[in-house]
Structure 1
Amino acid sequence: MLKNYFKVAFRNLIKHRTTAFINIAGLTVGITAAVFIMLWVQNEYSFDNYHKDVDNIYRIKTKLTLTKTEVWDWESSPYLLGPAAKQEIPGIKNYTFLWPGYMITVHHDNQLITEKKYAFIDANWFKVFHYDFVAGSAESFSKNPFSLILTQSTAKKYFGDGEAVGKTLRVDSMNYQVQAVVKDNPANSSFQYDMLIPVEAKLSNPHEKQQSAEWGNYSGLTFLKLQPGINVKDVGKKLTDIIRKNNKGSENTTMSVIGLREMHFETGLLSTSFEKGNLKLVNIFLILAFLLVATACINYVNLTTARSSVRAKEVSVRKIVGAGRGQLFGQFMSESLVVSFLALSFAILFIQLCLPWFNEVTEKHFVQPLASVTTWLLLLGTLVVCFVFNGLYPAILLSSFKPLTAFKGRAVLNFKDGAIRKTLVVLQFAISVMLIISTMIIYRQLNFVQKADLGYNREHVFVMSIPWQVLGFDDKVREPKLRSIMNELKQQSAIGEVSRSANDAFFNNSNKVSGSMDWEGRPDDYKPSVATISADENFQHILGLKMQDGHWFSKTGSDQHNVILNETAVKQLGIHQPVIGQRFKFNGDSGVVAGVVKDFNFRSLHEKIGPMVINNHTDWARSFYIKTTPGNTAAAIKIAQNVWNKFVPEQPFEYSFIDDGYNKLYHAEQRSSTLIASFATIAIVISAMGLLGLVAFAAEQRVKEIGIRKVLGASVQSIIRLLSADFLKTVLIANLIAFPVAWYMMNKWLQDFAYRINISWWIFAVAAIVALLVALLTVSIQSIKAALANPARSLRSGD
């Protein structure tokens, strides 16, 4: 019986090639898109859950309460906290410490290679976290402070297919021996480090060792492995007691722990070492995956029921010769299974072909997803969903035909069925319109972000920062070297201006201080936090900062102890008028307010401009802001590289343009915009296919009416209008449904930006016009075909 079902199913597919192609193509595209989305969603939800005892692993979190309205959340904690917690708090099985690295230089084959994905770890790291060792062991790694563990891809980069364990790499100024190789980090790992180094290597530097021995130094991340069932709130209280006991002045500091599973979607941190997920966005994409599959399945339903009258006699004959409704139901469900299976097979091929693009857009490394059990579960689930969604309604509907009705030539379907199909098309186009509106609003907001007046000029300015390990901590060596670099750069004609600052990311300044300021009229209990920048006398001019009052730092050095405030700082700190000349103490240095600079955005537009204090202390300023002269950008970079090579010969040249760095602040939004635009295109194409099915059904149902109208003199244009009117109304209804939903969703999304666009009415108008044009084109194709058909054939009594 089953064999016969599938034989008939394949025979029908071959007989109705066009319908089969539309069904399979729509489902293939929908399934491919949905599986890609689900891969990403599943990856986001499963972050770090591959570690053994993941439910018992926690990271210590620090909360500093500055005022009633301002709280700082840090993911960092003191190096000394882990051992003290293990000793004093029952229920802690183990602890480990992570020091994320910034940048190191590997000397290999006469090349200088910069590695940024590295970290220092202590000996307990592999007792808490799971890694798959390909060669070597964690034990040998822990015995020597100058050891390395590399991922497979990193080991191959340096040593090819040869053995890496036992080989030596020169890192900065020291030789390190590779003691182990581990498998590449999974895409759902927070710890995307290609190189791991023992923390003892970092502590071999006397300065670093001294810093790590201070309880007030929150320099790294502490993880705890707890006994099952332990009360995490009690652990947080005891950690707080340890901090307050060992670090005087920590009365406003509170410690807590956060689960490893929850870490990926953690919000509210001042800064983070890891890529964080957006739970709101993940949930939106989860819904989107379901909707894309649903829109593709709707096509099958529409196109199958559109051919209902063609198959009415087939069903009637089967019933007359003894076929039961259950057998007919099985026949139509088997056809649904065949179409769904073929679409899934093609989708698997498309997944393989599109995987490089998807990896590039999401910046994940999904390697051979078809080798994953999770992917096959997703594919199997999608097959079941499509099979049921596709087959259930048409099978029930088509198996319910009455033989005599079909043979008498009466309509086999009623208006109720037509209403269902129109409702499905309304749903399809509503989804498409919502995605079009979302894409346009996201694009406009990102365009606004890129062209916004930030209060400074970020064009043609690049930054190079001299590494600390090159400068050292000796003032007599460091400062002369920095002055020499400055002088070399200034002498070049391709370089317009040069400035020094202690901040290398002016556009995303995360430096904040609290409790180190005093001014005339400050309440004793008022200790607000402010952002801070250390800059020289050229900084204002090179970035085009505008003064609201007073002056910038003088070139004579007379403003060494003075500060410059932004407008927000004057308002929030309550500085008395006249502001210029007011006493201001900052970080122990007493001076006056020399000037007030107009507000500028020193963080992303997600945040409102906060108070800022700019000081003239450049003795630790190792970042050079270089403005190029018109048309000489490439020459300026080359000059900067030559100066770098002269003073920093052991490090590869590193620089970044402010404009590029600023745009990276919105990288996640750019990525989401690309994905949503792609899926909007897919949805509108699938919807057009669905509409084509509905028009085909309407034309088939009204074939004799059209024939009579043509015989009575109706023109092709009037026939097209007749068939088009109902469907264009359907699309208009879809627009009316989509508008409020899209407005609500996008308004919520825009609330994440402190500075944002207004949602204009014309965006909805454009989306509606696009949907109507697609619908009109689709309807016209089928309507013209019906209008040009020979009326004699449609009026023949046998048909």
Structure 2
Amino acid sequence: MPVFFISNSQIMSILRNYWTTSVRNLLRYKGYAFINIAGLGIGIATAVLIFLYVQDELSYDRHNRNFDRIYRIILKGKIQSNEINGAISNAPVGPAMVRELPGVENYTRLFTFAGEPVVRYGEHSIVERKFYYADSTFFDVFTAPVVKGNRNEFLKRPQTLVLTEETAEKYFGEEDPVGKILEVGEDRTAFEVVGVVKGFPKNSHFTFDMLGAGSTIFSNQNEFWISNNNYTYVTLREEASAGEVQEQLNKLVRKYVGPQMEQFIGVTLEEMEEAGQYYGYFLQPLKDIHLRSDLQFEIEPGGSMATVIIFSLIAVFIIVIASINFMNLATARSSIRAHEVGIRKVVGSARYQLIGQFISESVIMSLFSLLLAIVLIILFMPAFNQFTGKSLDFELLKNPMLLPVLLVVWLVVGFLSGTYPAFFLASFQPVKVLKGKFKAGMKSGIMRSILVVFQFTITIVLFISTFIVFRQMNYISRKDLGFNKENLLLIQRTYILGESAEAFRQEVNKIPGVTGSSYSNTFPGEIFGNTAFVPEGSAASQTHALNFMITDEYFDDVYELEMVEGRWFSPEMPSDSNALVINEAAARALGFEDPLQHRMILLGENNLPLQIVGVVKDFHYETLHQTIKPLVIGRMYDARTNLNIRIRPENRQAILEAIQAEWQNMASNQPLSYTFLDDSLAGKYDSERSTGMIFGSFSLLAIIIASMGLLGLASFSADQRTREIGIRKVMGASVQRIMGILSKEILWLVLIATVIAWPLAWYFMKDWLQNFAFRIDLEIWVFVGATLLAFLIALLTVSAKTWKAAQTNPAEALRYE
């Protein structure tokens, strides 16, 4: 029989032998097996959880049939010192693109400024926070399976609705919703339900509960090109090039935006460009919106490709750390298994057979680790979902990628972990081994040292990163925002009170525990719209697009703002209806040395002149991701969208109940929508907080796995140096001295890892902190503290074994010498 031919029965015999021998060796060295199986199991479980997270992040909006041909039209501009990068666009751009650009197949628009209306049906009265208006082409661009109704009739007529399946069940239960009437808004406008669809999956950059026919509101906006308050999506034709369509869109902007810019603002696009300014609309691929968009006015918060990459690297690193444990412990145990290798070679085992045996042990151990990982994933999936805010599941049949990933992780980890130790052990010379002249050799020791350094470099980087993330989150929560965010209750949708709004505010002020209240059209952390202003007497080219809010005479007291010049609006000054207060950033941007001597023209149909009466100290009206931008505050009309109520911290529940009772007196059958400002602001950093929690969890796992490896190395090191320990104790060495000798080598490796880890952590975290306009400094004590913690854990881990070895009776150590 040729030597290269092996029958199926021989293969099965070899595999059975590998299995039996491998299991026997695992049972013989239980401690070693436990460390490796537990470490690999934790590592694989972590990697799979991260895979599920990354898979979900990368799958956003892929449920749409033509997702690779769908683009969103976004706004980018710079007017004077104010840059605008928004996910929004104007109403006419979509229809014009379909009409005039041959590469555009279809469009749809989404209008989200529905004001979270109250929707009524029978006894139901519900605030709908995801009620949007859309064109009838919405379901031609986006994919949502129809549950009930005729898709060709969806949103064709004004005052018609399409509901998601869950929303329909909420209102109608088992009834057929099609043809039913819902009353929308304070005027109880009748909307007919014409269809029901399955809602968008959670991995969509926006979801909805109700869609109203866009023709209800779009009819009067189709020609106004410089009012940006909706979201436009287009589908390109299959043969179209996005680059060519963009070039054509640029020409469309000059054709339509240019004349209106000159008409309403008094400056042409050419003049803006000459002054280093710009204004335009751009195509953004649908598939990039969730992870690669950093725009204002997003419908829902997006993710971060940087976070996806970092988590992916962490998964790889943790698997590598666990695999390194296996390699280190396998080579460290070389002296124990050297005799076995020698005998196998003497009785005829070929080198490839020994390599196969040791790799099979690794693969079998990896299989046990995989089974442990599956148990850990099932146990910790709920906690992981809570950290990430997702609804991931571990169902092999529903996720076709999951089983292949598990198999690949099992085999790759098994083979890679076992390859180096297998070749190393199979290289032993039987004559030297059986004569007792075997020594592990310098090369294996150097390799183990390199791998330990690599392990702890990763671990220390994770520790430092976790410290910095949590310090930044703590900085955000404690930073002085320029106003008092505590104990500030926000009542939303107060416009429904109509003429009773001021009476409601006065009644609220009478409630014990309420110290003041104020109306405003928005509040810190929410959207502040841009409005065009030009200083009186200046050329049109000096037009500024400034953030603008409307409030009343009491806002500064309620928010505890600080005036640096002039005054706030006064109820005793009727002329303040034509007055403005600006922040310090606006004064700088406008170049005013004495702001109170200037008037601003609010550009529009009437070009209203407004006198600046005060300058308020800069406060953070946006999140700390943003710098403090110029802000103009006016009170030209009543802004009764939100009532801001300052309350005392005592008896908050009683105060809230009293406000609810007063609300019911004036707005019967209207649900009360409220939040506390500190909670609202905290929610703006949920993504970063979640990242910090995951970082912390992964850092803990990394140090646990690395420490398990150190424990194993320390154990085998102590076993190999039993004779040395005995001699040293006979010569009078103390327990502390012996512990120092045994621990020194490993702790030196941790110190080397620190030198490598610090610049890596500094580079990555400096880049992460760039996401915040206001951020902590990278102080040396953070690096020292995180490193000392990792160092202490390593020291305790090693000391647990070295202390036991140092306590050994020297007679026991030398009895066989």
The correspondence of residues 370-409 of structure 1 with structure 2, limited to 5 A, is 370=396, 371-409=398-436
Q: SS of the counterpart of 1:525?
A: helix
Maintained 8 Å contact 2:35/2:712: no
Maintained 8 Å contact 2:493/2:642: yes
Residues 275-298 of structure 1: per-residue CA shift (max 9 Å, x gap): 322222221112111101111111
Maintained 8 Å contact 2:18/2:357: yes
2:260 aligned residue: 249
**Structure 1: which amino acid aligns with 2:454?**
L
When residues 167 and 354 of structure 1 are mapped into structure 2, their CA distance, relative to the original with a 3 A threshold, is farther
Cα separation, 1, equivalents of 2:21 and 2:697: 37
**Structure 2: which amino acid aligns with 1:749?**
W
When residues 175 and 700 of structure 1 are mapped into structure 2, their CA distance, relative to the original with a 3 A threshold, is farther
Q: How much does 1:660 deviate?
A: 1.3
**Gap regions ≥5 residues in structure 1:** 472-477
Maintained 8 Å contact 2:534/2:600: yes
Tell me which moved more, 105-114 or 523-532: 105-114
The correspondence of residues 87-102 of structure 1 with structure 2, limited to 5 A, is 87-100=99-112, 102=115
Q: How much does 1:794 deviate?
A: 4.5
Tell me which moved more, 146-155 or 778-787: 146-155
Cα separation, 2, equivalents of 1:355 and 1:109: 40
Residues 628-650 of structure 1: per-residue CA shift (max 9 Å, x gap): 13413222222222233233334
The alignment's TM-score, normalised by the length of structure 1, stands at 0.91
1:324 aligned residue: 350
Maintained 8 Å contact 1:421/1:694: no
Tell me which moved more, 730-739 or 371-380: 371-380
Cα separation, 1, equivalents of 2:194 and 2:370: 45
Alignment equivalent of 2:35, drawn from 13, 22, 31: 22
2:6 aligned residue: none
Cα separation, 1, equivalents of 2:176 and 2:654: 40
**Pairing 1:336–2:350 present:** no
Alignment equivalent of 2:320, drawn from 294, 299, 302: 294
Cα separation, 2, equivalents of 1:304 and 1:156: 60
Maintained 8 Å contact 2:88/2:297: no
Maintained 8 Å contact 1:306/1:700: no
Cα separation, 1, equivalents of 2:706 and 2:204: 37
1:532 aligned residue: 548
**Pairing 1:620–2:635 present:** no
**Structure 2: which amino acid aligns with 1:238?**
Q
Alignment equivalent of 2:332, drawn from 306, 309, 326: 306
Residues 450-480 of structure 1: per-residue CA shift (max 9 Å, x gap): 1111111111111112265x36xxxxxx4x2
Cα separation, 1, equivalents of 2:145 and 2:15: 46
2:77 aligned residue: 64
Maintained 8 Å contact 1:132/1:182: yes
Alignment equivalent of 2:87, drawn from 75, 97, 107: 75
The correspondence of residues 528-567 of structure 1 with structure 2, limited to 5 A, is 528-558=544-574, 559-567=576-584
The correspondence of residues 639-678 of structure 1 with structure 2, limited to 5 A, is 639-678=658-697
Q: How much does 1:322 deviate?
A: 1.0
Q: SS of the counterpart of 1:4?
A: helix
**Pairing 1:50–2:78 present:** no
Residues 548-585 of structure 1: per-residue CA shift (max 9 Å, x gap): 121111121342212122222222211143x3343333
1:602 aligned residue: 621
2:305 aligned residue: 279
**Structure 2: which amino acid aligns with 1:401?**
F
Identity %: 36
**Pairing 1:113–2:126 present:** yes
The correspondence of residues 515-530 of structure 1 with structure 2, limited to 5 A, is 516-519=533-536, 522=538, 524-530=540-546
Maintained 8 Å contact 2:463/2:787: no
Cα separation, 1, equivalents of 2:120 and 2:20: 66
When residues 60 and 422 of structure 1 are mapped into structure 2, their CA distance, relative to the original with a 3 A threshold, is same
Q: How much does 1:770 deviate?
A: 0.8
Cα separation, 2, equivalents of 1:40 and 1:668: 14
1:746 aligned residue: 765
**Pairing 1:510–2:510 present:** no
Cα separation, 2, equivalents of 1:224 and 1:321: 74
Q: How much does 1:130 deviate?
A: 2.5
Q: SS of the counterpart of 1:360?
A: helix
Cα separation, 2, equivalents of 1:33 and 1:532: 47
When residues 527 and 542 of structure 1 are mapped into structure 2, their CA distance, relative to the original with a 3 A threshold, is same
Tell me which moved more, 95-104 or 300-309: 95-104
Q: What count of residue pairs does the alignment treat as equivalent?
A: 779
2:265 aligned residue: none
Q: How much does 1:74 deviate?
A: 2.8
Maintained 8 Å contact 1:60/1:222: yes
When residues 277 and 352 of structure 1 are mapped into structure 2, their CA distance, relative to the original with a 3 A threshold, is same
Q: How much does 1:378 deviate?
A: 2.7
Q: How much does 1:688 deviate?
A: 0.5
Cα separation, 1, equivalents of 2:424 and 2:521: 73
Tell me which moved more, 243-252 or 700-709: 243-252
Cα separation, 1, equivalents of 2:764 and 2:712: 30
Cα separation, 1, equivalents of 2:210 and 2:196: 10
Cα separation, 2, equivalents of 1:295 and 1:70: 48
Q: How much does 1:543 deviate?
A: 0.9
Q: How much does 1:680 deviate?
A: 0.7
- RMSD across aligned positions (CA): 2.6
Cα separation, 1, equivalents of 2:251 and 2:609: 35
Q: How much does 1:541 deviate?
A: 0.9
**Pairing 1:238–2:248 present:** yes
**Structure 2: which amino acid aligns with 1:232?**
A
Cα separation, 1, equivalents of 2:617 and 2:304: 33
2:296 aligned residue: 270
Cα separation, 2, equivalents of 1:678 and 1:536: 47
The correspondence of residues 490-509 of structure 1 with structure 2, limited to 5 A, is 490-503=509-522, 505-509=523-527
The correspondence of residues 697-776 of structure 1 with structure 2, limited to 5 A, is 697-776=716-795
**Structure 1: which amino acid aligns with 2:485?**
R
**Gap regions ≥5 residues in structure 2:** 1-13, 262-267, 270-278
Cα separation, 1, equivalents of 2:437 and 2:815: 14
When residues 84 and 586 of structure 1 are mapped into structure 2, their CA distance, relative to the original with a 3 A threshold, is closer
Maintained 8 Å contact 2:167/2:210: no
Q: How much does 1:102 deviate?
A: 4.9
**Pairing 1:259–2:278 present:** no
Tell me which moved more, 342-351 or 250-259: 250-259
Cα separation, 2, equivalents of 1:693 and 1:260: 50
Q: How much does 1:679 deviate?
A: 0.6
The alignment's TM-score, normalised by the length of structure 2, stands at 0.89
